[in-house]
Amino acid sequence: MKLWDKGTEINKLIETFTIGRDTEMDLFLAEFDVLGSLAHIRMLESIGLISDQELLILTKELRAIYHQIQTADFVIERGIEDVHSQIELLLTRKLGDAGKKIHSGRSRNDQVLLDLKLFTRSEIRGVVDQTIELFEILINQSEKFKHVLMPGYTHLQVAMPSSFGLWFGAYAESLTDDLILLQAAYRISDQNPLGSAAGYGSSFPLNRQMTTDLLGFESMNFNVVYAQMGRGKVEKTVAFALASVAATLSKLAYDVCLFMSQNFNFVSLPDELTTGSSIMPHKKNPDVFELLRSHCNRIQSLPNQILLMTNNLPSGYFRDLQLIKELFIPAFAELKSCLSIASFAITNIGINENIMDDVRYENIYSVEAVNKLVLEGTPFREAYLQVGASIKNGDFRPEKTIDHTHEGSIGNLCLVQIVSKMDVIRSGFNFNRAEYAFTELLSGSITR
């Protein structure tokens, strides 16, 4: 069954190539296709394109199909092109002509775009929840180890004193910026395209505000041409936000791999979180962080892939956009898996609390010595030269007392402020509106 079938049989080679992995990807969209149809038929009834009775029986059957999807009993049958065709087929089998009416006033173009936006909203919520979980773990670790010093590096050369409080806290605050990007991506996704049809609207008197409200969207894409132009742009924008989270995780993973090596020996993992060598019995490899790094680097390539697939398309719909689903849809599960494993591993990481006892780090206190001389009245440049000469002559003996008090320093991590920043960002996601709308569509009374 094809929604566009006019009785001419298509070449099987062409059919296989053009369908691609659509049926596989469409299973991720199935529940959202039902939700979109539930809102659409209410609107159709309100403008007189279906009757009150048809609305009742269509709603009942669509809710039953939604339940099938939730219990994994839903399949796209062999020979059925996509999820939209499968759902319409199920309705028509059960309800006859009433099932054939649900496509009035819409095209597969706005239908799949709607499904993708609803899917994206839902998946972003999952990413946000898991990002906040990792954030809270990093904040707790920062507080727990705030007094444990570690070397700070520039150019991979020993630079100045740092602390595990600073290190954990840095990645926590990085996630706040990542969520600001995710919030922007969410708001771009949170605009209703339904009613744009093939990109040029409909002669039916559609009530687009009604479906916007029923589906819990913040707003709609008003211009029907732009609604279709948004296909690809939405995915690219969201991909940039996902890549930002992935970049934070990738850098964290690289740090752990580096710090776990024997040459650093800053951190450790329990044996059950490491792997070994087939010939070297002493090996304890941080495979989990190496794979985390690689997964996240792959996610960071996603915006560029989507960009290259869309940057030379004019306005209007093109089949090129279909392939984006194969890259975009799985990226959420991959990132959420990375967030989950990062949370677990960081919770169980071990910290070497005696790193700074090693004599190789004595020169790390040189800036402290320079600053002490400055506070005693020596001009900075002269103090710098004095300490530099002392190090060169081998007679530098540091005082290892650290007294940093300014905001964000070793002695003032500003964890409360970072948590407050995250709370403000978190409150900016209006997830409840969409959740309430879906609950009403699936279980509420059927009213206009």
336 with 362, same domain? no
Contact 36, 441 (CB under 8 A): no
Count how many residues are written for the chain. 448
**Residue 4, pLDDT score:** 44
pLDDT digits (tens, 9 = 90+) for 166-220: 999 999 999 999 999 999 999 999 999 999 999 999 999 999 999 999 999 999 9
**Residue 426, pLDDT score:** 96
295 with 337, same domain? yes
244 with 114, same domain? yes
CA-nearest of 29, 27, 19, 18 to 81 is 19
**Residue 402, pLDDT score:** 87
CA-nearest of 251, 248, 290 to 269 is 290
166 with 288, same domain? yes
176 with 315, same domain? yes
Task: Give long-range contacts, CB 8 A cutoff, 24+ apart: 285-288.
Answer: 286/256, 286/257, 286/260, 288/341, 288/345
Helix (H, G, I), strand (E, B) or coil at 289: helix
Tell me if 96 is assigned to some domain: yes
**Residue 447, pLDDT score:** 57
Per DSSP, the chain holds a count of helices (H) and strands (E) of 16, 6
User: Element (H or E) spanning 77, and its range?
Assistant: none
β-pair type (191-192, 219-220): parallel
Tell me if 187 is assigned to some domain: yes
237 with 134, same domain? yes
Tell me if 317 is assigned to some domain: yes
**Residue 279, pLDDT score:** 85
CA-nearest of 317, 286, 394, 245 to 4 is 317
The Cα–Cα gap between 191 and 217 comes to 6
Residue 154 phi/psi, 5-degree rounding, is -130, 140
**What's the Cα-to-Cα distance from 407 to each of 49, 239, 369, 371, 413, rounded to whole Å?**
63, 33, 21, 18, 7
Contact 198, 228 (CB under 8 A): yes
| Residue bearing tokens 């706005």 | 110
Low-confidence ranges of the chain (pLDDT < 70): 1-20, 447-448
Residue numbers of the domain that contains 64: 12-104
pLDDT digits (tens, 9 = 90+) for 30-74: 999 999 999 999 999 999 999 999 999 999 999 999 999 999 999
Number of structural domains (the chain) is 3
**Residue 18, pLDDT score:** 60
CATH, residue 132: 1.20.200.10
186 with 68, same domain? no
183 with 314, same domain? yes
β-pair type (157-163, 149-154): antiparallel
